[in-house]
Structure 1
Amino acid sequence: MFTVTGLNQYYGGSHILRDVNLHIDKGSCVCLMGRNGVGKTTLLKSVMGLIPIRSGSIELDGEDLARDPAAARARKGIGYVPQGREIFPGLTVEENLRVGLTGRRDGSKVIPEDIYEFFPVLKEMLHRKGGDLSGGQQQQLAIGRALASDPHMLILDEPTEGIQPNIVQLIGDIIIRLNDEKGLTVLLVEQKLKFARKVGRQFYIMDRGHTVAEGRMDALDDTLISEYLTV
């Protein structure tokens, strides 16, 4: 179970996140939605310890992570795929994947074989530099790197952004498989409504730094879409 309670975050004097609450059951897949600039990426970075929070709790399986550094949160089982992928362009695919191994709790130095099962292109391009890959291939690498840490929970920030349609479909299928077959808890920020409805079981909507709506994905109706999601 993953919960965020009463989370507040500031940039200078600006109150960016305002008493944000999330509750994600173990093994669920939740889509965090909302227009640009409402605080979604800031929330994910706060959850990962990449930016400080003013107050609130962030709990994974009952343990409060709010004061832990980012590396400790990774070692406690949270894998993170940031917006823009942020792979290391000068390292090979294999070297990028090995970076993910540093977050493993069991100390293993072996890249899990199922990463190559999910993303065969990574095995084919194992010795290619990350910067030589296409955008879709880099996104697969970023997800693979996060999975290398053997996380209990996977957080993805707009995994379909700038990706060609066939790779978007592949990534959606993989998220569903990770969720269904491995019981991996997933939280993702997603702007594409069709994709969110495909992979998500539940949704949260943010507006002006607040969580303003939540529910099962089939309860995401035209009224909510019109009020909070359409541009």
Structure 2
Amino acid sequence: MIDISKVNQRYGGTQILWDLDLAIKPGSCTCIMGRNGVGKTTLLKCLMGLLPIESGEILLEGEALHTKPAQFRAPAGIGYVPQGRDIFPTLTVEENLRIGLPIRKDKAKQIPEKIFELFPVLKEMLHRRGGDLSGGQQQQLAIGRALVIEPKVLILDEPNEGIQPNIVQQIGDVILKLNQEEGLTVILVEQKLGFARRVGKEFRLMEKGRVVASDQMANLSEDLIKQYLAV
């Protein structure tokens, strides 16, 4: 579904990604893991068109993404929840969710009821400003906003950062439901090993701007954790 080949990226004179290869299969839930500073968020930003790549290619279902501007991603079927959420704090929950409606292929005028089934708190707070929500509620809003477009792929960058445990549990439940019951392809950057093991089907370990290990999540060994994840 997504094929990233020989991608190089640099900030000024510092190279962040080095001939990076990554393949994401349809219907998978892939956790991209690694210590801080190995290039995980940079990889996602390159995939989303928020950072240019120096060389290589990024394909979605065989179609080049790396040659297209960032605004092409949502119509192409990619929902993105960035680190820090990036909701619109002065807009209401309803207004935040409605932003994705024009991108839907069915041109629906109403927020899908499914969003409120997944995150009931959003319906309760529909008319509150996004900036007045708690961190956990804002994360639910950010994920809900990404789901409004009915994506083929959902990309989440550390969705549990700074979130209370009960919301972490709920987010995990939602990811499992979307992936296992509905077949949504999920790409997840995650630092919490327990959460990654709970929701992920596969892992990709990064070190110094490269993917250095790939396998089924069940095969994430203690040796790999010690070598690439332990602080």
Which consecutive residues of structure 2, in runs of 5 or more, have no partner in the other structure? none
> Is the partner of 1:215 in helix, strand or coil?
strand
> What is the alpha-carbon distance in structure 1 between the residues aligned to residue 194 and residue 210 of structure 2?
23
- Aligned twin of 1:61: 61
State the Cα distance separating 1:66 from its structure 2 match.
0.9
**Higher mean C-alpha displacement, 107-116 vs 64-73:** 107-116
Q: Is the 8 A contact 1:71 1:103 kept in 2?
A: no
- Aligned twin of 1:70: 70
**Higher mean C-alpha displacement, 105-114 vs 75-84:** 105-114
- Aligned twin of 1:52: 52
- Aligned twin of 2:209: 209
TM-score w.r.t. structure 2 length?
A: 0.98
Q: Map 1:78-157 to 2 at 5 A.
A: 78-157=78-157
> Is the partner of 2:103 in helix, strand or coil?
coil
Deviations 1:149-207 (A, max 9, x none): 11000000000100000100000010000001211000010000000000000000111
> Is the partner of 1:173 in helix, strand or coil?
helix
> What is the alpha-carbon distance in structure 2 between the residues aligned to residue 228 and residue 52 of structure 1?
27
> What is the alpha-carbon distance in structure 2 between the residues aligned to residue 74 and residue 57 of structure 1?
19
State the Cα distance separating 1:93 from its structure 2 match.
0.1
Amino acid at match of 2:222: D
Q: Is the 8 A contact 1:8 1:56 kept in 2?
A: yes
- Aligned twin of 1:33: 33
Amino acid at match of 1:88: F
- Aligned twin of 1:166: 166
State the Cα distance separating 1:227 from its structure 2 match.
0.7
Amino acid at match of 2:180: D
> Is the partner of 2:66 in helix, strand or coil?
coil
**Amino-acid identity (%):** 66
Which consecutive residues of structure 1, in runs of 5 or more, have no partner in the other structure? none
Amino acid at match of 1:185: T
Q: CA RMSD in A?
A: 0.9
> What is the alpha-carbon distance in structure 1 between the residues aligned to residue 37 and residue 103 of structure 2?
30
**Higher mean C-alpha displacement, 25-34 vs 94-103:** 94-103
Q: Would you identify which runs of 4 or more consecutive aligned residues in structure 1 move more than 4 Å?
A: none
State the Cα distance separating 1:64 from its structure 2 match.
1.2
> What is the alpha-carbon distance in structure 1 between the residues aligned to residue 110 and residue 38 of structure 2?
39
- Aligned twin of 2:227: 227
> What is the alpha-carbon distance in structure 2 between the residues aligned to residue 198 and residue 86 of structure 1?
26
Q: Is the 8 A contact 1:200 1:217 kept in 2?
A: yes
User: How many residues in Structure 1 have an aligned counterpart in Structure 2?
Assistant: 231
> What is the alpha-carbon distance in structure 2 between the residues aligned to residue 61 and residue 161 of structure 1?
30
